[in-house]
Amino acid sequence: MDLFKKCETFNKEVLNQFMENGLYPYFHYLNSGQNTEVLMEGKRTIMIGSNNYLGLTSNPDVIKAGVDAIKQYGSGCSGSRFLNGTLDIHIELEKELAEFLQKEDVVTFSTGFQSNLGIISAIAGRSDYILCDKENHASIYDACRLSFAKMLRYEHSDMEDLERQLKTVPEGAGILIVTDGVFSMSGEICKLPEIVELAKKYGARIMVDDAHGLGVLGARGRGTAEHFGLEKEVDIYMGTFSKSLASLGGYMASTKEVVSFVKHNSRPFIFSASITPASVACARASLKVLRENPEIVSNLANISDYMRSGLKKKGIKLIESITPIIPIFTYEDEKAFLACKLLLERGVYVNPVISPATPKGQALLRTSYMATHTKEQMDEAIEKIAEVLKILEII
């Protein structure tokens, strides 16, 4: 069979039916920057489908830092960190992150996805075992495959199943338990205290993907481990700059030994160009805002709680959590697409989540919030969401 036959089939059988019905929900374009309200395809739209949790993509100090960095360092680094691509501001960002996260050292990567690939593929090898929550991010799954380690998946947040899997690991094998801190689709928080207990019992190391936890959880926004008071118990933090820190790139925080090992053994790190100067500067400026204004974390929690309460008052079924990710059930995949279309027509942007990303019959609208959203914007969004869900006979 011709290699490209699958492409033709996919377009005909999957995409065309949604496009012809006007239900295709992807690749809508913005005419403005990320903010609580955007111009989407020329129309004012309340943005509740972004990961811009602290609202810093429009912060004047963050923008100025990016502009100044381009003027000083140019548009790119033209090489990997391993060779010619390290700037002094890369080193400064890593020092500042290490201090903020209370870890010995940090290494940065060009994207968040690449961070997981680079960390896990370097740390875990053929004789090692990785215990992976079934709802972990796709980048973790790809990283496990790249590592050649044996991956054992445990049922989502099921600590009995995690222990059952741990018992099967051969004596003497290296063990890494990897979990999202905040699960990106549901907004649920991992059961870190129980994971720490099991890791100690079975001699495992712990890695937390805190892409959706940094700036969201903990009194100072340090993430999932701070939320539980377990910062000394997590061996590796992974995170990204593309969410709370309003930039692009990712990082690993750990001991000096582990960071040095990854720097010298991680192929995705060694063979990729380094983060651009503007992205580094914007991440540093965003981190500075977070460090100097920890109340922004409380602002995010308050606006998320306000939205969650307002939706519940309308009889809308949610997945319970305390994070700014609030999924709303539509149950059927087609209703998720239709709800997105109807909401966008009313000036509200949300994300559809359908099978296989969710179990069949559990399709969602993934909504997410910013510390800079106003109650007036939330009230408007609540009314329009309720209106659409009534039209679709979901409530």
Contacts from 67-72 at CB under 8 Å and sequence distance 24+?
67/278, 68/281, 69/277, 69/278, 69/280, 69/281, 69/282, 70/277, 70/278, 72/277
Q: Count the residues in the chain.
A: 395
Q: Distance between CA 181 and CA 198 in Å, rounded?
A: 16
Asked whether the beta carbons of 216 and 182 are under 8 A apart, the reply is yes
Token pair 């295709």: residue = 24
Q: Distance between CA 96 and CA 89 in Å, rounded?
A: 10
Sign of CA dihedral 68, 74, 78, 79: negative
> DSSP characters for 186-228?
T-PBP-HHHHHHHHHHHT-EEEEE-TTTTTTSSTTS--HHHHH
Q: Distance between CA 170 and CA 210 in Å, rounded?
A: 29
At 169 the three-state DSSP class reads: coil
Query: Quick one: residue 25, left, alpha or beta (phi over 0 = left, psi -120 to 50 = alpha)?
Result: alpha
For residue 80, list its beta bridge partners: 273
The first and second tokens of residue 212, run together, are: 């959706």
Which whole-number Å values give the CA distances from 319 to 53, 185, 188, 379, in the listed order? 19, 10, 8, 20
Q: Distance between CA 134 and CA 157 in Å, rounded?
A: 8
Token pair 């060779």: residue = 83
Name the residues annotated as catalytic: 184, 212, 243
